[in-house]
Amino acid sequence: MTGARLCDVALDRSFGRRDPRVEREQALAVVDLLENNSFLPVGHEGGPYRLRIKTADGRLVLHIADDEGTHLVSHHLSITPFRRLLRDYTRICDSYYEAIRRPGPERLEAIDLGRRCIHNQAAELLKERLSTKVLIDRDTTRRLFTLIYALLVRNSPHQLLLI
C-alpha cells in the first residue's frame, strides 16, 4: 500500500470570495496533506491519486484520478450532515481570529481547544461518510476537512454555513 496516497489535491476555484485567513489555512493543509497522507479508493490498487474537490448542486464532489490524471471515480456527499459542525466551526474560527487581536492567551487557548474539538468531530464525520468509498487515516481526514471548509466558505454565501 505504499502508493495508497495523494500526490495532488485541488479545490474548485471557478468562483467565490477570498478570505486571506481561510486561504492561508488551505495552503497549509495542502502542504501538510501532500507531505503525509494515507488515501486509498475502495476497489482500486496502486496510486498515487489526484483529488479534486468541488461543490455541485449543494453537494460535495470528490473527483479521484490516478497519478496521470485518468479519472477513476467521483463521490458525491451531502453537505447536510455537516451543516451544524460547519456553522459551529465558522463561529469559533471567527472568535479565534477576533481573540488573536486582543491580549490574553487564556481566551485564545480556550477557543483553540474548542476549535480543535469541532474540527475533530467534523473529520470523524467525514471519515465515517467516506468509509465505504475511501480508506483514509485520521490526519488525512482532518486536513481534508480543512480543505472542504475552505471550499465551502469560499464558494457559498456566508449564510449557508449559518443555517
Over residues 40-79, the pLDDT tens digits come to 999 998 889 999 999 988 899 999 999 999 999 999 999 9
User: What is the rounded CA–CA span in Å between residue 51 and residue 66?
Assistant: 9
Non-local CB neighbours of 107 within 8 Å, separated by 6+ positions: 99
User: What is the rounded CA–CA span in Å between residue 106 and residue 145?
Assistant: 26
Domain limits of the chain?
A: 6-158
Over residues 68-104, the pLDDT tens digits come to 999 999 999 999 999 999 999 989 988 888 888 877 7
Q: What's the pTM?
A: 0.85
The pLDDT, as a whole number, for residue 2 is 57
The pLDDT, as a whole number, for residue 16 is 57
